[in-house]
Structure 1
């Protein structure tokens, strides 16, 4: 009897130690996810100080667009290959290698004195950051069973969204207290601490079983196709047309390369995402939801801050504080979405979240000119609309990840997790590129007939009156531009709600 009790006690102790190791491992993974997320969103609120430091006119913000898209492009381009490499060689070495590369990119960014070098540094950061979230998600898939996994993935998603909450405030605060370059210098000691934490917390062994291959050709084709599409919609002269002169040819080339990527993935023996024995319809619908939610997220991060600074006259810190209404709701809803997915499955939380987000964007598109004074009874309208939108997008995070991991065997969790984040970041990348091009073009079209008054041959009073009329017309043009962008975003979320109905989780042992 005593021997049985001792054995049971030892078994309980071992199980408890295993649980503790799992929690420490996912905690370390969540910390590096947070680090990458901070830098993914930090630039959105310091664009004005950056363009001033680089000598770019404040009315030519389109010239700094590559700084935003460069990080996202590196993130998306590298992520599938890095997910496959983590399946092949293990989670720990990939996390550590990418953290070191992330620090190198931070140093390049901090030293940059022009848009090309600044963009290069951000691309390197994006490439390195492209592994941190999917590898941590795959680690959750390795260490937790299918029933508990949605909650853990919701927590990892919450860490990612916490970065989106803190990133804009973090960047604006450091830029105000020190300098925008200090944001990236601080990454170096943070990465050193993270490398040590990963070494001691994350399991070093690779999953048992045959080593999956690595699809280098597929990764290069995907990266090249996306790069061509992003270059096609980057327009340094938006007052002339929505697309640059090279836009049409590059769009065609990008579509052709991506078509080649699809053909390669069908015929290749080793693929970025092996769809053998997977129901492709529900999987592609889930990735479509991830893409559309990513596009909506990035539009919000950029355009809400621009609304604050251009229409409401707020500084970068106040603009970041305004955005927190939306951002604080994201991690809260990410955890709630994980809990809901565990109880009712992934389909309904995804559909509800995208539908709620669509309604939120319609409310934002209808913001009145006197936004500061608008309210729903005792509640400020701006706060309510942003919280509703954030809750909607947050609900989608965990169910999307959980559904995709349920479609594929455990040996492919790394690349499956990467596929979720790739789809989301592709949405962020293409969404901000296309909608920014459209927005800048629409603004220049709406203001083409406006001529600023000149203080010659008129009295000061007359000049002041004409300047007031001119500024009001510019504000109306900005408001119309933002309204159209948020209408389009609401439509994307409604499409995501419809796609969610096609998702039915198929578990694979």
Structure 2
């Protein structure tokens, strides 16, 4: 019973961290207005969104390893406290730099919650019963992604509607972060009473963690482009990418020679470990491409407004956590390998269907294809989380879980950047000879005919661009499915590995 309460509290913390990754999207307009940012300079507000992601990705590997050494309860408590402090700083911020600082602190703390909770599941559940619990944690993460924007709008609107807080109307967005304070305190109390205070004699690779965090941070900065309509990468993109590569090389050189490594090679089954990371990378790329390009398809091809485009994407997002829960139950019975294979194979087939959408695609087809894609990608979450814990020693569970999440988010960043670059290139090629008709020197009927022809060719170019992007996404998912074959089999899952790992404890 106590372990279920511990999982519920930790899962709620994961949900809260995931919610705050997207919570500012729905209230960004209010934040911009309150902070005095000009409408024509909205790029100044972009670090508010990316700051959390930067902290989330950068701090996750080292914080995951720290939980192996300092104990799950201690790191969870410190993370929740950091999340609380970051929320207070964000809520009190009077300018963009302080606001971004608060968001980065929130992200650093939130980045530890998911891998530490996954490692906690490994501590508290037997191996053959672990997948369902991991699926629940994965579902909490995905549910936060689904509800983040709506959660922010709902909390701000609630306080805005209360007469007691009418004076705070221009700053109603601040309540989104003030609400985190009591929620974090409640979670800390429950974690203190239910999570075991286990510690292990594990040395920490601070240098390796810092180098990897710096490389990931530089990657996030390099791939973020506030003006994608002008170029694939920002003006600083290539130099920063070069710097990220240099730091990444330095990380691998350090890991080869260091006495203490971020992920010690002793006891690690490297082939399935790299397979898990590769599959996670592929799933992350497919996920982010869907989040970006489905909404763009709705706005540019289907001519829907942003609200209708978001409603269309909800079909995918709702199916994602459903797939995560189902994947957890199936993995416990069928094994990680084939559930992951099936999930990515289903997703690949769905993207082939999405790549055939016409300009007048029906609502039923949209719902069917997006729901199948979301369900397929959701199926993969629990098998990957469980598989990585089976191929590394128990003393490395925290950092191994962090690597899976980092691989997935790296796939999200790199995948959308690469496919967006391809899409922009193809769209430029397809519209190179397409000129906008002008209503001068021609009859009204002729101008209408030219405009209709222009719109038809523009839509065809957009369709070709999206079709190719989704076909490439289908190939990425198919490669991920093939990589899943290298995951542990059902027979390997049922074998005890404790005997071979005793020497590492």
What is the TM-score with the length of structure 2 in the denominator? 0.83
Per-residue CA distance 1:374-397 (angstroms, 9 max, x = gap): 6xxxxx100010111011101111
- Describe how 1:126-137 pairs up with structure 2 within 5 A: 126-137=107-118
- Deviation at 1:28? 0.6
Equivalent in the alignment of 2:56: 75
> What is the Cα deviation at residue 40 of structure 1?
2.5
Which of 297, 301, 322 matches 1:307?
Answer: 297
Q: Is the 8 A contact 1:230 1:433 kept in 2?
A: no
Question: C-alpha separation between the residues in 1 aligned to 2:286 and 2:170?
Answer: 26
- In 2 relative to 1, CA 433–128 (structure 1 residues): closer, same or farther, beyond 3 Å? farther
Cα distance in 1 between the residues matched to 2:206 and 2:170: 36
Match of 1:86 among 67, 78, 85: 67
Equivalent residue number for residue 8 of structure 1 = none
**Which moved further from structure 2: 198-207 or 186-195?**
198-207
SS across alignment from 1:148:
helix
Aligned partner of residue 179 in structure 2, secondary structure: helix
Once the two structures are TM-superposed, the CA of residue 365 in structure 1 deviates from its matched residue by 1.9
* Paired residues of 2:27 and 2:152 also in contact (CA < 8 A): yes
* Partner residue in 1 for 2:357: 367
Asked if the contact 1:169/1:321 (under 8 Å) is kept, the reply is: no
TM-score (norm 1): 0.82
Distance 1:463 1:182 in 2: 49
Q: 1:17 maps to which residue?
A: none
Residue 469 of structure 1: CA displacement?
Answer: 5.0
1:337-376 pair list within 5 angstroms: 337-371=327-361, 373=362
In the other structure, the counterpart of 1:97 is 78
Q: Would the aligned equivalents of 2:3 and 2:195 in 1 still touch at CA under 8 Å?
A: no
Q: Could you say which residue in structure 2 is the equivalent of 1:206?
A: 197
Aligned equivalents of 2:402, 2:266: Cα separation in 1:
17
Change (3 A) 1:309 1:241: closer
Q: Which moved more, 1:354-363 or 1:90-99?
A: 90-99
In the TM superposition, what whole-angstrom CA distance separates every residue of 1:190-241 from its partner, at most 9, and x where no partner exists?
Answer: 342232233234545532542x122221122112222333344445565665
Q: How does 1:255-266 map to 2 (within 5 A)?
A: 255-266=245-256
- Alignment deviations for residues 261-297 of structure 1 (CA, whole Å, 9 cap, x no partner): 1222222222222221211011110111111111211
For structure 1, the residue ranges without an aligned partner over 5 or more in a row are 1-19, 375-379
Give the alignment's Cα RMSD to 1 decimal: 3.5
Partner of 1:297: 287
Is 1:429 aligned with 2:418? Answer: no
Contact 1:62 1:440 in 2 (8 A): no
Query: CA deviation digits over 1:424-443, x for unaligned, max 9?
Result: 12212222333344445554
Cα distance in 2 between the residues matched to 1:254 and 1:117: 26
Displacement of 1:246 after TM fit? 4.6
Residue 385, structure 1, aligned to residue 369, structure 2: yes
The question of whether the paired residues in 1 share the 8 Å contact of 2:302 and 2:360 is answered with no
Q: How many residue pairs align between the two structures?
A: 481
Other structure's SS at 1:287 match: helix
Show CA shifts across 1:285-313 (max 9, x none). Answer: 01111111112112212222232333334
Q: Give 3-state SS (helix, strand or coil) of 2:487's partner.
A: coil
Deviation sequence 1:6-48 (CA, Å, 0-9, x none): xxxxxxxxxxxxxx11111100111111111222244667788
Unaligned runs of 5+ in 2: 161-168, 499-505
Question: What are the within-5 Å matches in structure 2 for residues 40-59 of structure 1?
Answer: 40-42=21-23, 55=38
Question: What SS class does the counterpart of residue 186 from structure 1 fall into?
Answer: helix
Cα 1:180–1:329 shift into 2, 3 Å? farther
